[in-house]
């Protein structure tokens, strides 16, 4: 029984309970959203068990069935029919977790910081599988809950391999990816895919057609190979498949006038197959057979946008909408087969058309979760497309996109490395959280409010604790000023607006309980090796020769101040001296 079938039968599964905990809602709310088709829980039964590509043990299956039975008994005794905090429900088996210091009504898993994530990921007992190092920790994708982000990785025929891709997975999880797609097209694909699944606590998606053409031309692809590869990847534990079944032969003529043709690898490969054989898309013709396989393992559809626009000029054209109409039909067919389904969306869209795209998809595809790439809002900034796309992703999240597929600085120019994965994830965490605040997801804005209270109180340790990536924030602070005091290096003492506001006794600013620092000044706790490397990299960009592996605190000061740190930026200066020195600086006298 799949998650969709269970929900439609009124059954709450352990996975629904876990998703409810992570979203701070009731299990019945999650069940009803899954039954409606507006939320999916990508959770291959083998990844749930962590069975390393094998069937789950009889004992694991017995325990899960017993848990479902126990939940049925509890449901008869507990009212869980409204969107309330799981704190009010007895159906909570693990503690929810949000940002540091969150209130019970703001326990959103997506708002965990990098430091919090590292604690869990470093715990060998966390989500340990039956046979693999890790197993899936279930999560939900839908516009009625918090916005999720996906990271893409994968080896290419040119570069990378299994070890490098597993490292990218770990970076993606550390920096907030909610799901990950292995898009490998080179190396040992089976080995790489299994290693990623076995080391992942987040859902893993793939595009099976990539494996289908290894060792053969696309023209030689046959139906038996398609079904064989789909089942093999399902057996490995893949949680969701991108299947480009919406690209139909009768609509290919609509591509002719496009500037960029088909930019989807899957879409272009299948278009070539159709034109070569003068036959319909095999993924469309085999759709029901593929669904039967996916249902057996509870793999979720991510209906691929093989005709997505590859530039602003092509956005919203007849070809894109024709495919979307087909995806609407396939959404219903997947649901009828008992298979969960989400729909992929466009990659390049002018800003003013993004909300319209979200609305059209919701109408045509019966509100199936929309999973969008970006979209990029301009085409002329290669090397910075994590920025051009996260702008569009923010608007997409505000308008109802359920999951945002990240774009890295290497988009359009090369294969992303670990640092690119980090930058892409952080850009998209910004977009997703901004969307959650704009959509008034309950509790989302408390994270921002807590940061603002710490900032107003000039409580630097608290700010770095609450910040998503406090390690980077601390390093950048200490680059200029290695003391936590009531100003920073931006304005100094006299010009600090936060300090001035805090000193006005009639105002609440800077005086919130639990946020006022214990001391006016305190020495920075020092920097980790990773923080030192960051500062050394910044120094190298300015032409300074330093060894990032052996960067000392004195060198950090040298990098920031060229060896002449001003007294007003030191914890050894009292207020009077700071005032005096800063007055001299303001008139150009040192």
pLDDT of residue 530: 87
Alpha-carbon distance 330 to 143, whole Å? 20
pLDDT of residue 294: 98
pLDDT of residue 544: 72
Burial 193-214 (b: 16+ CB within 10 A, else e): bbbbbbbbbbbbbbbbbbbbbe
The H-or-E segment that residue 342 falls in is strand 341-345
Query: Look-up: residue for tokens 């946020």?
Result: 515
pLDDT of residue 558: 62
Question: Residues with Cβ < 8 Å from 512, sequence gap 6 or more?
Answer: 453, 456, 457
Burial 309-322 (b: 16+ CB within 10 A, else e): bbbbebbbeebbeb
Alpha-carbon distance 96 to 114, whole Å? 16
pTM recorded for the entire structure: 0.90
Alpha-carbon distance 66 to 27, whole Å? 17
Which residues is 411 bridged to in the sheet? none
Question: Residues with Cβ < 8 Å from 210, sequence gap 6 or more?
Answer: 183, 184, 185, 189, 265, 266
The H-or-E segment that residue 197 falls in is helix 189-198
Cα dihedral 564/569/572/573 (nearest 10) = 110
pLDDT of residue 77: 55
pLDDT of residue 79: 44
pLDDT of residue 83: 40
Structure tokens at 530: 């990773």
pLDDT of residue 487: 83
pLDDT of residue 221: 97
pLDDT in tens, the chain (590 residues): 999 999 999 999 999 999 999 999 999 999 999 999 999 999 999 999 999 999 999 999 999 999 999 988 776 555 444 443 333 333 333 455 899 999 888 999 999 999 999 998 999 999 999 999 999 999 999 999 999 999 999 988 887 789 999 999 999 999 999 999 999 998 899 999 999 999 999 999 999 999 999 989 999 999 999 999 999 999 999 999 999 999 999 999 999 999 999 999 999 999 999 999 999 999 999 999 999 999 999 999 999 999 999 999 999 999 999 999 999 999 999 999 999 999 999 999 999 999 999 999 999 999 999 999 999 999 999 999 999 999 999 999 999 999 999 999 999 999 889 999 999 999 999 999 999 999 999 999 999 999 999 999 999 999 999 999 999 999 999 888 888 888 888 888 788 898 889 888 889 999 999 999 988 788 888 888 889 888 888 887 777 777 766 666 666 666 555 555 444 444 444 566 656 655 554 444 33
Alpha-carbon distance 128 to 113, whole Å? 22
Question: Residues with Cβ < 8 Å from 438, sequence gap 6 or more?
Answer: 397, 398
Reduced to 3 states (helix: H, G, I; strand: E, B; else coil), residue 475 is helix
Reduced to 3 states (helix: H, G, I; strand: E, B; else coil), residue 576 is helix
């Amino acid at each position: 029984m799949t998650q969709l079938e269970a929900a439609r039968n009124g059954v709450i599964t352990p996975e629904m309970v876990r998703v409810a905990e992570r979203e701070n809602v009731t299990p019945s709310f999650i069940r009803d959203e899954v039954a409606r088709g507006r939320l999916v829980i990508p959770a291959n039964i083998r990844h749930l068990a962590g069975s390393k590509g094998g069937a789950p043990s009889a004992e694991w299956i017995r325990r899960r069935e017993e848990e479902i039975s126990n939940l049925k008994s509890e449901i008869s005794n507990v009212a869980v029919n409204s969107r309330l905090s799981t704190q009010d429900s007895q159906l909570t088996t693990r503690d929810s977790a949000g940002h540091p210091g969150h209130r019970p009504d703001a326990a959103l898993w997506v708002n965990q910081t990098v430091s919090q994530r590292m604690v869990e990921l470093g715990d060998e007992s966390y989500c340990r599988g039956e046979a693999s190092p890790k197993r899936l920790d279930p999560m939900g994708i839908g516009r009625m809950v918090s916005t999720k982000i996906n990271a893409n990785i994968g080896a290419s025929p040119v570069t990378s391999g299994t070890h490098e891709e597993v490292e990218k997975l770990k970076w993606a999880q550390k920096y907030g990816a909610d799901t990950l797609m292995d898009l490998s097209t080179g190396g040992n694909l089976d080995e790489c895919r299994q290693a990623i699944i076995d080391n992942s606590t987040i859902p893993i998606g793939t595009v099976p057609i990539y494996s289908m053409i290894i060792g053969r031309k696309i023209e030689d692809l046959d139906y038996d190979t398609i079904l064989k590869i789909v089942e093999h990847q399902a057996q490995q534990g893949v949680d969701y498949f991108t299947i480009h079944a919406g690209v139909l032969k009768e609509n290919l003529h609509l591509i002719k006038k496009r500037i960029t043709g088909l930019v989807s690898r899957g879409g272009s490969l299948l278009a070539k197959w159709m034109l070569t054989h003068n036959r319909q898309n095999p993924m469309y013709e085999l759709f029901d057979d593929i669904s039967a396989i996916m249902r057996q393992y509870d793999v979720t559809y991510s209906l691929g946008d093989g005709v997505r626009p590859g530039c602003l000029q092509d956005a919203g054209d007849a070809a894109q909408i024709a495919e979307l109409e087909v995806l609407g039909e396939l959404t219903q067919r997947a649901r009828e087969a008992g298979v969960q389904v989400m729909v992929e969306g466009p990659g390049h869209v002018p800003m003013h058309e993004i909300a319209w795209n979200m609305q059209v998809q919701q109408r045509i595809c019966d509100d199936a979760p929309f999973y969008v790439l970006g979209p990029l809002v301009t085409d002329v900034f290669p090397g910075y497309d994590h920025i051009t796309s996260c702008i569009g992703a923010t608007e997409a999240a505000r308008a109802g996109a359920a999951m945002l597929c990240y774009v890295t600085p290497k988009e359009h120019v090369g294969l992303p490395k670990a640092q690119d994965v980090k930058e892409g994830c952080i850009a998209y965490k910004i977009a997703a959280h901004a969307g959650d605040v704009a959509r008034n997801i309950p509790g989302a804005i408390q994270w921002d409010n807590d940061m603002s209270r710490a900032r107003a109180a000039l409580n630097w340790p608290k700010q770095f604790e609450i910040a998503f990536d406090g390690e980077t924030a601390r390093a950048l602070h200490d680059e200029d000023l290695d003391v936590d005091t009531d100003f920073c290096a931006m304005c100094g003492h006299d010009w600090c607006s936060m300090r001035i506001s805090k000193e006005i006794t009639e105002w609440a600013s800077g005086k919130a309980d639990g946020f006022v620092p214990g001391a006016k000044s305190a020495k920075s706790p020092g920097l980790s090796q990773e923080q030192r490397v960051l500062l050394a990299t910044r120094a190298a960009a300015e032409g300074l020769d330093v060894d990032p592996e052996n960067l000392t605190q004195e060198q950090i000061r040298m990098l920031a101040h060229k060896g002449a740190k001003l007294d007003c930026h030191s914890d050894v200066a009292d207020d009077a001296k700071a005032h005096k020195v800063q007055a001299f600086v303001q008139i150009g006298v040192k």
